[in-house]
Structure 1
Amino acid sequence: MELPMRAFLAAACGAMCSAAFAATPEIHTGDVDRFYALYDATGGRPSVEQLDAYLAGGSQRLQEFARARRVTGERIAAQIASNPGMYEHARECLRVLPAVERRLQAALDTLSDLYPDAAYPPVAIVVGRGRPVGIADPSGATIGLEALCAADFLHPDPEDRFVHVIAHEYVHTLQALARDEPEPGDPRATVLRMSLLEGAAEFVAELVSGSVSNIHHAEWTRGRELEIETAFQAAMHGSDLGPWLYNYRPGPDEPYDLGYWVGYRVAKAYYLQAEDKRAAVARIIDLDDPDAFLRDSGWFPGMRLDDARAR
């Protein structure tokens, strides 16, 4: 798997897009239906040419997903050949989507209460090359069915995993920081900025859906808060994201994406000390100055979050 949950298209769609958004989450699965019709018709071995036609004839979100993440018929065919079980297993996750949609509606109702400016673009479920799990921009979110279904390293229960990851991606569609997102390697893509982008989405998603996407961060960091966050503070204005973000690799159970966790704690510290919780959620979503937000949060390395409550 590649980075959990991070890749954003650059374009913002503005008011004209939001006017067409629904109050109820819309999960579109037409591209999945097309993929599995082809998969079954070819005995699980579609050709590169057939897979290229699946991509070319797909929804706009699938085509944007393919362009943004270099998804091609050749790469899907190679993934099917090397890991056919991934595509068979992904069918199981289709069965949880009705329950996911119901739970997301409740989560987004809560988000709308906290952040009245929220408008919800559709989520497209597609089939790709095994990664990434998802991408988002202000016009919507796209989830790779086979990638998220296989991502039990985030959350063991598939229904919970889809709810919390899609909630995270919905927050990305609203965030100011996601509207002009520098690519990794750009000097503007500092550890602090990218960690706040991801951590703020984790915090708001937890607030409305009941959990963060990656439940392992709590166990990995318990008792190491000061050590990890002191190292983060030293690195936060640099652009070497490797030690902090998008660094999941299959294999040993090593901590990864600790920048998500630090950014989450900064956002939570800000929220807990705020008297007006709705205004705090708006600031967390709308933040566009990472250094100012960090200062205003009151965060410091190793802080106990109940310290923020007491302020």
Structure 2
Amino acid sequence: MFRISCLILPLTALSVRAQQPVIVSTDVDHFWQAYDKIRSTPDTLLQQKYLQELYLDKASPGLKALRQVRRYEAKDYLDAIRLYPAFWASLRPTSKPTSAQIKQIKTAIGKLRAIYPALSSSPVYFAVGAFRTNGTISDGKVLIGVEMALSGRSIDTTGLPDFLRTYYHSYHPAETIGLLCTHEYVHTQQKLPYDDLLANSLYEGVAEFISCLAAGKSSTTPSFVFAAQNEQRVKQKFQEDIFYPDRMYNWIWGTNRNELKERDLGYYIGYRTAETYYKNAADKKRAIAEMIEMDYGNDSVVTSFMNRSGYFDKPYEALLAVYESRRPKIVEVWPLNNGTENIPAGVQKFTLRFSKPLNKHNTGIDFGPLGEDYCPKIPAAGRAWSEDGQSWSFDAELQPGRRYQFMITANFRMADGTRLVPYVIDFTTAK
């Protein structure tokens, strides 16, 4: 099978005893105690009682954090236990980290500390979730969901939904649990990204690249095989999608609905960006620190790193210019055709005409720079699209002798998601 090779940095510092991570797996024992009692009775009230008293009430800080981050309720656990008995029976023998796996995790994190000496310590918690993550973080804690992270190749997927069957048949993180834990450990050191495709892809890709670099392992992300074999095609599509918020989940944490049909390709783009930056860096240790410590919530920092990496075909600004050239604009606002003064008071109908047809679904009106006091009342009634989607009308209730200002936002968009250039409407009514 095609594999992505990681660059391996000489780890001369391994002779120094590094601080070992704390690994906690007591929640797994508590889960199986609850599980056995739940399976012993058909009484749903008793089942809920056993789950609460034997598992949830005994939760470690890690399980509490996992439940909060993934919004696990008691019902999620009880439904999973009732629906998938074959799965749980096959998971049980491998559901708790072995001494060999714990050694693998500690060794990998020790190597991470060797290449990034500023690494701060984070506890690693193994707990049972309900199929929403194999690994995540919260407040400096690494949280591993064993039902997804410690499943073996013999896992029984009978009755599971298709997306879970696909996961278990294509991804075997238990075999490289050290790599998964190191990936999440890197996340505990990073600043969180904002809700943006590029920022999240770099956030995930940097964590994957550095964890592979430290562990001396290849990435086990299934989509990397497809991405490596179709790299230019994947990169080109990513460059087009950077400016489309609606497309983020085609690339990160979702089901890809574009023509590539592979999920999590954003991880690969971020990985290759980090790898290219690292290869080109004269000071490798500094490059590692820069990538881990980057402010992923700062747009200018993220785009600067993208440009400096040397991975993309064009600088961010050039890609943005291409996107801006495609955006629809407001070309006419009726009744402001003849000026913005002495607009009649009362209920006034406004009609916007666009340079390109829009999707006849998404709309958006917000306050202008002057704020709420200058925005008229715009009732829901009276809003209507033209048949061709190239104009949209709405009513506004206007008082005499007043200045009004409001914004037509970028929530208006074309069928492919290309967003309208925002437009501020500013006028004064007749006295």
> TM-score, normalization: structure 2?
0.58
1:38 maps to 2:23: no
Correspondences of 1:21-100 after superposition (within 5 Å): 23-43=19-39, 47-53=47-53, 54-94=55-95, 96-100=97-101
Q: Which residue of 2 aligns with 1:190?
A: 196
Higher mean Cα deviation, 130-139 or 75-84? Answer: 130-139
Q: Deviation of residue 212 (structure 1)?
A: 4.9
Q: 1:156 aligns with which of 172, 188, 199?
A: 172
- Is the Cα contact below 8 Å between 1:96 and 1:159 reproduced in 2? no
Q: 1:44 to 1:254 in 2, by over 3 A?
A: farther
Q: What's the secondary structure of 2:87's corresponding residue?
A: helix
Q: Which residue of 2 aligns with 1:106?
A: 107
**1:296 is matched by which residue type in structure 2?**
R
Q: Deviation of residue 82 (structure 1)?
A: 1.4
Query: CA separation in 1, counterparts of 2:304 and 2:251?
Result: 21
1:167 maps to 2:189: no
Identity across aligned pairs (percent)?
A: 29
Q: What's the secondary structure of 2:131's corresponding residue?
A: coil
Q: Which residue of 2 aligns with 1:211?
A: 217
**1:49 is matched by which residue type in structure 2?**
K
- Is the Cα contact below 8 Å between 1:133 and 1:143 reproduced in 2? yes
- Is the Cα contact below 8 Å between 2:95 and 2:147 reproduced in 1? no
- Is the Cα contact below 8 Å between 2:116 and 2:289 reproduced in 1? yes
Q: What's the secondary structure of 1:142's corresponding residue?
A: strand
Q: Which residue of 1 aligns with 2:230?
A: 224
Q: Which residue of 1 aligns with 2:388?
A: none
Q: Which has the higher helix share?
A: 1
Correspondences of 1:196-275 after superposition (within 5 Å): 196-240=202-246, 241-248=248-255, 255-275=262-282
Q: 1:52 to 1:294 in 2, by over 3 A?
A: same
Q: Which has the higher strand share?
A: 2
- Is the Cα contact below 8 Å between 1:155 and 1:213 reproduced in 2? no
**2:92 is matched by which residue type in structure 1?**
R
Higher mean Cα deviation, 94-103 or 271-280? Answer: 94-103
Query: CA separation in 1, counterparts of 2:134 and 2:203?
Result: 17
Q: 1:101 to 1:149 in 2, by over 3 A?
A: closer
Q: Deviation of residue 215 (structure 1)?
A: 3.9
Query: CA separation in 2, counterparts of 1:164 and 1:200?
Result: 13
- Is the Cα contact below 8 Å between 1:202 and 1:264 reproduced in 2? yes
Over aligned residue pairs, what C-alpha RMSD do you find? 2.4
Q: 1:175 to 1:153 in 2, by over 3 A?
A: farther
Q: What's the secondary structure of 1:47's corresponding residue?
A: helix
Aligned pairs, number: 268
Q: Which residue of 1 aligns with 2:137?
A: 136
Q: Is there any run of 5+ residues in structure 2 with no aligned partner, and where?
A: 1-17, 152-166, 296-300, 315-431
Q: Deviation of residue 254 (structure 1)?
A: 5.2
- Is the Cα contact below 8 Å between 1:226 and 1:301 reproduced in 2? no
**2:291 is matched by which residue type in structure 1?**
I
> Which structure has the bigger radius of gyration?
2
Query: CA separation in 2, counterparts of 1:108 and 1:217?
Result: 25
Per-residue CA shift, 1:141-183, capped at 9, x if unaligned?
Answer: 11111122345456436232x222111111111112x2xx5xx
Q: What's the secondary structure of 1:256's corresponding residue?
A: coil
Q: Deviation of residue 104 (structure 1)?
A: 2.0
- Is the Cα contact below 8 Å between 1:164 and 1:211 reproduced in 2? yes
Query: CA separation in 2, counterparts of 1:44 and 1:134?
Result: 30
Q: Which residue of 2 aligns with 1:11?
A: none
Q: What's the secondary structure of 1:125's corresponding residue?
A: strand
Per-residue CA shift, 1:245-274, capped at 9, x if unaligned?
Answer: 10259xxx9521000000000000100101
> TM-score, normalization: structure 1?
0.79
